[in-house]
Amino acid sequence: MSSNSDKTNRVIQFFRSEKDTPSIISKMKNKANQSLPTERFPVEGKVTQEGTNDRIKFLNEKGKHFSYLTGHETFTDIKSLHGNIENYIGMSLVPTGVVGPLNVVGSEAMGDFYVPLATSEGALIASYNRGAYASRLAGGITSLCLVEGVQRSPVFKFNDIADLGQFLMWVLPQIEKFKDITSQKSRYAKLIDVRSNIEGNQLILTFDFTTGDASGQNMVTICTDAICQFIVSNTPIKPVFWFLESNYSGDKKATALSFTSVRGKKVTSEVTLSKRIVETVLRTTAKAMVDYWQSSTIGVIQSGSIGAQGHVANGLCALFIATGQDAACTAEAAVGITRMEMMEGDGLYACLTLPNLIVGTVGGGTSLPTQRECLELMDCNGSGKTRKFAEICGALALAGELSIAAALSAGQFSAAHKKFGRKKQ
């Protein structure tokens, strides 16, 4: 059984294992450059061949190459799609742009990153790019992946509560056996906790796993099914029926459990912007942004939303599509809390916490050609890169929160969409 201290202890273990993180962050922040960077990514509001060529050349010079994204190579290996899709007929083309450089100060992600976003929504990349530029001038966004876990929550039905109680008393001492079953079914999954939720004569067991560098939904499904098969074959108290998923785990849903647990990776990100940066780059004031944040938070509470943020789904969904994540996981990954505060000297402090980042750098769609190239652009392809990728996700989302709050606080929102987002026929 889990207790309230379990997740806290895992967070403490993170800070113990990352003992140098505070000093690294302090050193990076002390290097914050209040002048414009000498090197700038070639941005443009309109789409031109010349501008496109300039951006490709710029990234090529940094050792980044995109044979499939640019169309120089054509995908033909349709047999490799087995496990990704059924009834295949072809590829959907989604325009892909780049935000950057996004400067991240994390335990795994450190430095400038060029972040690919696949979207057909005009103004989206321009908005995120502005937030990235402002935060880079401020010394970067601190972004830390604190804790991780992926769940599957089977449900067991009994004749009465008495049977349920006997079943539960038999199940809980079996956790070491469950860990052994997990290790037999997967090289990467590790069972770290089992939690229970009783409702009358129904019992939900939540199995909490870590899944290495994969997002892990399929992995935890297979492991949990094997555990459940062992349970129903060996328990002295047989359930009337059981189902592998009770709809309690939060898979592809925004749920009230988001802030009491973790699903995927929990990332928290922060940045402090000077008065000068807020006024010259975001073209507003810290007070106006804080006033907007406070009013919009009251509005989102009244709407019944889970979490309180501006448009996290915009950036995450575009990044998920570009990098081969499960785009439907945006429903849970976009749950978050954005906060803004005034600082001394009329500066701005902003932070964002995302508790449900279901992301991976191996498996799923990450090996598809353009998706692989997009991950390679951020040096996030393959094993050992998922926590780094999650920290970039958090930093990107916060950059987007800065920009949209600035636009709405200064009355720029409509004009920006008129400029970038209207399709001319």
Residue 3 pLDDT greater than 90, yes or no:
no
Q: For 52-76, write each residue's pLDDT tens digit.
A: 999 999 999 999 999 999 999 999 9
| Cα–Cα distance for residue pair 323/381, rounded to 1 Å | 9
**Residue tagged 């450089």 (tokens):** 101
Residues in contact with 97: Cβ distance below 8 Å, sequence separation at least 6, in sequence order: 116, 117, 119, 125
Whether pTM > 0.75 for this model: the answer is: yes
Residues 6+ apart with CB under 8 A from 329: 215, 252, 264, 320, 358, 359
Please report which confidence band the pLDDT of residue 309 belongs to, taking 50, 70 and 90 as the band edges: very high
Top pLDDT among 108 and 34 is at: 108
Q: Evaluate whether 155 touches 242 at the Cβ level (below 8 Å).
A: yes
**Are the CB atoms for 255 and 332 separated by under 8 Å?**
yes
Into how many domains does the chain fold? 2
8 Å CB contact between 117 and 97: yes
CATH of the domain at 158: 3.30.70.420
Residue 231 and residue 345 in one domain? no
Instruction: Please give, one letter per residue, the 3-state secondary structure of 65-123.
Output: CCCCCCCCCCCCCHHHHCCCCCCCCCCCCCCEEEEEEEEEEECCCEEEEEEEEECCCCC
Residue 139 and residue 110 in contact, taking contact as beta carbons nearer than 8 Å: no
pLDDT by residue (tens digit) across 196-229?
Answer: 999 999 999 999 999 999 998 999 999 999 999 9
Residue 8 within any structural domain of the chain? no
Does 345 lie in the same domain as 284? Answer: yes
Q: Are residues 266 and 124 in the same domain?
A: yes
Taking the C-alpha atoms of residue 105 and residue 112, their distance in angstroms, rounded to an integer, is 9
pLDDT, residue 46, reads: 86
Identify the pLDDT of residue 11: 61
Residue 172 lies in a domain: yes
Q: Which residues contact 112 (CB under 8 A, 6 or more apart)?
A: 100, 101, 102, 103, 136
| Strand ranges in 200-258 using DSSP code E only, listed in sequence order | 202-210, 241-243
22 is a domain residue: no
In a domain, residue 10? The reply is no
Which of 182, 215, 243 finishes a domain? 243
What range defines the domain where residue 287 resides?
27-146+262-420
Q: Taking the chain, what is the end-to-end CA distance rounded to the nearest angstrom?
A: 60
Q: Catalytic residue numbers?
A: 121, 326, 417
Q: Are 323 and 400 in the same domain?
A: yes
Rounded-to-10 torsion of CA 232, 153, 196, 183: 70
Per-residue pLDDT, 257: 87
**For residue 326, is pLDDT > 60?**
yes
Do 159 and 140 share a structural domain? no
**Residue percentage of the chain with pLDDT more than 90:** 81
Same domain for 121 and 237: no
Rg (CA), the chain: 23
Tell me the pLDDT tens digit for each residue of 128-160: 999 999 999 999 999 999 999 999 999 999 999
* Closest by Cα among 215, 102, 198 to 151: 215
Residue pair 167/204 in contact by the 8 Å Cβ criterion? no
Omega cis (within 30) before 37: no
| CA dist., res. 325 & res. 393, Å (int) | 12
Q: Are the C-beta atoms of residues 131 and 102 closer than 8 Å to each other? A: no
- CA–CA separation, 107 vs 21, rounded Å? 6
Residues 294, 392 share a domain: yes
The answer as to whether 292 is a domain residue is yes
End-of-domain residue from the set 191, 215, 243? 243
Range 154-177 average pLDDT: 97
Q: Is 19 inside a domain boundary?
A: no
Interval 291-306 mean pLDDT:
94
φ, ψ for residue 292, nearest 5 deg: -65, -45
Q: What percent of the chain has pLDDT over 70?
A: 88
Distance of CA 346 to the CA centre of its chain: 31
Is the same domain home to 42 and 123? yes
| 410 found inside a domain | yes
Check whether residue 413 and residue 326 sit in a common domain: yes
CA distance 41 to 19: 34
Instruction: Give the distance from CA 207 to its chain's centroid.
Output: 21
- Of 331, 350, 330, which Cα lies nearest the Cα of 340? 350
Q: Among candidates 355, 345, 354, which has minimal Cα distance to 272?
A: 345
Domain edge (last residue) among 191, 211, 243 = 243
Closest CA to 320 of 254, 252, 255, 219: 252
The verdict on 80 and 132 lying in the same domain is yes
The rounded distance, in Å, linking the Cα atoms of 264 and 150 is 5
| C-alpha closest to that of 320 among 354, 270, 275 | 354
User: Alpha carbon 174 to chain centroid distance?
Assistant: 33
The CATH number given to whatever domain includes residue 116 is 3.90.770.10
- Please report which confidence band the pLDDT of residue 2 belongs to, taking 50, 70 and 90 as the band edges: very low
pLDDT given at position 258:
86
Asked if the structure places residue 181 within a domain, the reply is: yes
Q: State whether 383 and 305 are in the same domain.
A: yes
Do 357 and 399 belong to one domain? Answer: yes
Q: What CA–CA distance (Å, rounded) separates 138 from 335?
A: 26
DSSP three-state, residue 47: coil
